[in-house]
Amino acid sequence: MFDIGLNLTSAQFSHDRDEVVARAFSAGVKGLLLTGTNLHESEQAQTLAKHYPHCWSTAGVHPHDSSQWTEESADKLRALARQPEVVAIGECGLDFNRNFSTPAEQEAAFSAQLALAAELGMPVFMHCRDAHERFMALLEPWLDKLPGAVLHCFTGSRSDALACLNRGLYLGITGWVCDERRGLELRELLPLIPADRLLFETDAPYLLARDMKPKPASRRNEPAYLGHIVERVAHWRGEEAQQLAAQTDDNVRRLFGITF
């Protein structure tokens, strides 16, 4: 099992980060991709990925932080992406749900990061919320110039999923699918996702699976809980968890070009 989305830079892990990583590997996780959401956190994620074994990172600017994008941002990300631990550009994309940055700022930062990924020949690690049509419109011109792309923490509709899959995107599935309130639509879509386009992630410390029993007292999500998501998704897809985990590990190697 490989967790493609872990916010290890979060302050929620500041007091026991070593233990969190150790618990993940003890639970059978084989590798971790640490998410960079702005320039500072991307640098932190790379530093942590260098410190811990079997860890890699992304480098990018999240749509929430797009107002921070400047002419120098691409240069700083380009330099960071030269580090061997950095295997994808992102987290980048659009989020029209909260608009912490304006749509115009988000679109500018997203397009610039797509251009950078194409220039560097790197895959993109993307975010999309309440912005599917505009997201796809901006992404489409770059897809044939990118080695690969994943829409992480996918929570969209059936039509959204099919549009992404038809354009060759990977979809990242989190513990959202285990939520009996919000995850039912996504649960129904699971059989539509080809096994060779599926990736797993916790998005820890967020999105703790609501059907875990017992739930951790802290209510904080950890990569050690990835196995629960894999098992539940395999169950709903009518597949063996071990076989599905092996397939998604192959997907990670193919998309990010890493060995673990």
In this predicted model, what pLDDT tens digit does every residue of 41-67 receive, in sequence order? Answer: 999 999 999 999 999 999 999 999 999
Reply yes or no on whether the pLDDT at 218 is more than 90: no
Range of the domain at 46: 2-256
Name the percent of the chain lying above pLDDT 90. Answer: 96
Reply yes or no on whether the pLDDT at 35 is more than 90: yes
**Which of 109, 120, 9 has the alpha carbon at shortest distance from 57?**
9
d(CA 189, CA 199): 14
- Taking the alpha carbons at both ends of the chain, their separation in whole angstroms is 10
- Give the total number of structural domains in the chain: 1
Structure tokens at 74: 């691409």
d(CA 45, CA 51): 10
Average pLDDT, the chain: 97
Reply yes or no on whether the pLDDT at 145 is more than 90: yes
d(CA 171, CA 5): 12
Strand order from edge to edge, sheet including 55-59: 2-6, 31-34, 55-59, 86-95, 124-129, 149-151, 170-173, 198-200
Please tell me the number of Cα atoms within 13 Å of 255 on its side-chain side: 29
**Which of 82, 29, 32 has the alpha carbon at shortest distance from 59?**
82
pLDDT for the residue 115: 98
pLDDT for the residue 4: 98
d(CA 236, CA 112): 38
Reply yes or no on whether the pLDDT at 1 is more than 90: yes
pLDDT for the residue 217: 86
pLDDT for the residue 71: 87
d(CA 4, CA 69): 24
Structure tokens at 44: 């932190």
Q: What is the rounded average pLDDT of the residues 236-256?
A: 97
Q: Is residue 241 classed as helix, strand or coil in its secondary structure? A: helix
Which residues, including other chains, have CB under 8 Å from residue 172's CB and lie 6 or more apart?
Answer: 4, 5, 150, 151, 152, 153, 154, 199, 200, 201
pLDDT for the residue 113: 98
pLDDT for the residue 31: 98
Residues 57/91, Cβ–Cβ less than 8 Å: no
Q: What is the CATH number of the domain that holds 9?
A: 3.20.20.140
